[in-house]
A and B are shown apart, each in its own frame.
Chain A
Amino acid sequence: MAEHRVIGKSVLRQDAVDKVTGAARFVDDIQFGPTLLHVKILRSPHPHARIISVDTAAAEKVPGVKAIVTGRDCRQHVGLYLADRTVYATDRVRFVGEPVAGVAADTVLAASEAVSLIKVEYEPLPGVFDPVSGALGKEVLVHDAPAASDLWWQGLSCITTKTPGTILHEHLGEYTCAPFIHPVPGTNISNHFKLRKGDIAQGFAAADVIVENVFTLPHIQHSQIEPHVAVANVDRSGKVTVWASSQSPNAVRKLIATAFELPMSKIRVITPYVGGGFGGKAGLTCEALVVPLALRLPGYHVKLALTREEVFQGTFVRQGLVARLKTGADKNGRLVAMEAELFWDGGAYTEYGVNITRSGGYCSSGPYEIPNIKTDSYCVYTNHPVGGPMRGFGMPEIHWGIEQQMDILAEKLGRDPLAFRRQNALREGSLAAFGGPMRGATLVDTIDAVAAKSGWGGPKPPASAPHKVRGRGIACMYKAPSMPANAQSSAILKINEDGTVHVLTTAMEIGQGSLTALGQIAAEELGVSADMVTVNLPDTDYTPYEWQTVASRISYSAGNAVLAAARDAKAQLLAVAAQVLDIPAADLVIEDGQIFARANPARKLAVSDVAMGYLLPEGAIGGPVIGRGSFIPAGITGLDKETGQGDCPAPFWTYGTQVADIELDTGTGEITVHKVTAAYEVGKVINPAMCKGQVQGGIVQGLGSALYEHLVLSEGQFRNSDFVDYKIPTATDTPEMDIILLETSPQADGPFGAKGIAEPTMVPTAPAIANAVYDATGVRILDLPLSAEKVLAALKQKQTREG
């Protein structure tokens, strides 16, 4: 393999100095001066209600109030995959925290006072508070005599809907939606993804062991440390400029254009540094709320900075899930059949969430080859906060169940859980759940790497006290970027007079290090050092199109666009240099910013000599070099509506395995995660230090979701919306992390072979910890989180059972 000069090196982050000195500007840091107005939002106190009237008369009289908008001012439905929501509620509210009105005023205090004076008359409606009742309410719960096996959900603590049959979106059938999303009008099911592979009845008939369990996950919140901020300005020409803490500048522009019926050329979205995304700043979150106010107040800068409570309640949350999994294996340890019913708690609007249901569906086998599969994955409307993308996009959720099923089956078969997984792992050419052959399936490599490093099968360290026990658990994962088949990236690369380089993309730096990684790709291809390249932050008027910074796809997709732009620019540089040096371009190389022929390195030109063209005695040649690159993944196919079968729904899968070593206090139920050993196969590591940083961050986020993160909802009302009551990991919770990055299967169409890594990092952590809890105590917990209270109760129950 060719030796790389920049790729594979831990080049220091492009943004590091800005971020350690306070120079890095986030949206809230931009100073707008005397034209700044502050926005406060009136939000629904009801999980489900009809709006009878909205009276803003008293609010308008508050000194300093400049404008008030309500649902009357923007009735257009918008959404990324399913246009099911309006910017402000029109005649109904469907979750606590839904925007009903917005006020722009001179001060935050005036805006807040005005909000408190808006009178809204509501007629409360019965609500849907769990996805199973929500989905089956009409057909089954009021069914005359359902078969006992149809009532598996009864008794689950999360089944809390009191009035089955309530429909949230009567007009579901009329909403615009993506062709691969399948709503069921007349129900609360906004997407039903069906998968039928092989023959499920024959599969289970061939099984010697069958295990069936119901796994549940609560809603959790991304908890980026930067709350969402959006500012809008409409100038005298009617041009709309939005500054947003967003992962998706182009999607924001498109959805605002749709919502307010404006041409995209009249909307400019500027996204400076973003203080953490994790999916919670993807698509459209709060950006559109300020636009109708700005449209009424030309010249002003209209700013909405969400409070922490609003972030918890009014932005995306990770969807809850109730998953019934039935898995069968034969006595030789081969998986033979799996049946999955996945009920996703999509919340009040599922414009983005519908696609999580699809991904969870076509990946429902987990990273294993299973010949017979029947999956029904339902996205269900509930009167809960809006479910949206969060790191892993369905994969942490489905692996929570799948990876415990693997351990349960292995135990019943008398097999080692690691060996059992290894036997059933997807391999090169294995037929995936969606029927197509897998390429670059490297799960086994990650299992073997973790087996070697984690001490798997060896003795566990002794417990630190007599009332404590140690446990070790394993979990595997796979994940593909979930995106439309034609999700695009593009890049422009400019070479300056001095040979320094600017790369323009609309890929968003959300902490993952995209500026640095994309810069490394450009530098490597151009033959200049990394510090010569600056990658700019997005501004949709000037940076070229990027679908979104989601799905762990930026190194791959935007990376490919940057690589193409660098190749284009390089060809232009070499064409000019070839004429100047009178050496064929094919014989020239660029290294450290110098252009020369290998055979005669003494005759050379600097990149800066030809970046603007070159003046020869007979006249000038070339011109300012601008590289152009576009990328769209090739060969991504759809999936059949009835069977979910197809050839290749995604460009690559990233595989990984984690082993968790825990200690559990049998007196309190408290779990301490001492060590996590993790291996990921990423095709090619662009920047080892940053790649490892992704794994570290993902493990700790996974640990939080495993041990304590739970957005507690009681009939749609929030019970915790701050960091006192919703705990995220602190420095004292960080385990020892042993991280192995493998490059065994470079991605054929990835830049230098790279795949994605950001999301896969948190997927296996929670089930690995749950399997370690079982190893330590014999207690199996099927519902997240593994809170001390829950673990202790389960331990006591086990003691009682066993007398």
Chain B
Amino acid sequence: MKTVTMLVNGRPEKLTLEPHRTLLDVLREDLGLTGAKRGCEAGECGACTVILNGRPVNSCLVLAVELDGAEVLTIEGLGGPASLDPLQQSFVDNFALQCGYCTPGMILMGKALLARNPHPSEDEVKEYISGNLCRCTGYENIVKAIMAVAAGGERIG
């Protein structure tokens, strides 16, 4: 067992953990943050994507004991029903979800892309989210939702 402290959605969390547990386990089981989903537990589907120290990761592949001092952003920290992030709102407006299981990971991946590259091309969006599998939508509306926020940013800028 090892005790680590990490900042999860801006809140310090002190956790005593067994060494085999993943960040996904800890988020879901210890912190009740179930927005990150289990899809394959092998880093193949992207449903568990969260932002770790500013970068998107498959949380099923990260051992939680290594995260002392880390900052984690999950979908719950991005925005709630009354304070949706513009990308969350764009997913709603563009019908960019169906079953919703890949959606939290997909949105966080989109956020990570826009943080690095505020004005991506459509091909750049497709390439960047290609590790996040969606079986329902055919991706078109997801790409549209991300592009809409990118374009919105351009207008504001």
Contact = CB atoms under 8 A, between A and B. Distances in A.
B95 A723 contact: no
B8 to A, nearest CB: 13
Interface stretch (B64-72, B86-94, B149-157): B86-94
A22 B139 CA distance: 19
Q: Provide the main secondary structure of the chain B interface.
A: loop
B74 A22 contact: yes
B112 interface: no
Nearest to B46: A225
Contacts of A698: 138
A511 B136 contact: yes
A697 B34 contact: no
Contacts of B81: 17-18, 21, 23
Most chain B beta-carbon contacts within 10 A, residue among A16, A696, A737: A16
A78 to B, nearest CB: 27
Report the interface size class on chain B: 35 or more
B10 interface: no
B45 to A, nearest CB: 6
A20 B97 contact: yes
B125 A511 contact: no
B38 A696 contact: no
Nearest to A24: B100
A10 B44 contact: no
Given A276-B101, A723-B133, A21 B84 contact: yes
A8 to B, nearest CB: 15
Contact of A13 (B35, B92, B133): B92
A274 interface: yes
B37 A275 contact: yes
Interface stretch (A25-33, A336-344, A489-497): A25-33
B92 A731 contact: no
Contact of B141 (A226, A693, A724): A693
A689 interface: yes
A225 B133 contact: yes
A12 B92 CA distance: 7
B6 interface: no
Contacts of B104: 20, 22
Nearest to A23: B81
Interface in B16-39: 28, 32-39
Given A13-B97, A225-B47, A308 B39 contact: yes
Interface string B125-139: 111011111111111
A510 interface: yes
A409 to B, nearest CB: 31
B105 to A, nearest CB: 9
Most chain B beta-carbon contacts within 10 A, residue among A20, A29, A722: A20
A22 B103 CA distance: 8
Interface string A207-225: 0000000000000001111
A19 interface: yes
A305 B34 CA distance: 15
Contacts of A31: 32
Given A26-B101, A731-B143, A701 B126 contact: no
B80 A21 contact: yes
Nearest to A222: B135
A56 interface: no
A699 interface: yes
25 contacts: A19-B103, A20-B91, A22-B36, A25-B34, A28-B34, A31-B32, A223-B135, A224-B99, A226-B37, A227-B38, A273-B100, A275-B37, A308-B40, A308-B41, A308-B42, A512-B98, A689-B95, A696-B141, A699-B138, A700-B138, A701-B138, A723-B44, A731-B126, A732-B127, A732-B130
Given A21-B80, A276-B136, 12 more contacts: A12-B95, A13-B97, A16-B91, A16-B92, A19-B97, A26-B37, A225-B133, A226-B39, A227-B40, A723-B45, A731-B139, A732-B130
- Which 3 residue pairs across A and B have the least CB separation, nearest first? A22-B35, A511-B99, A275-B101
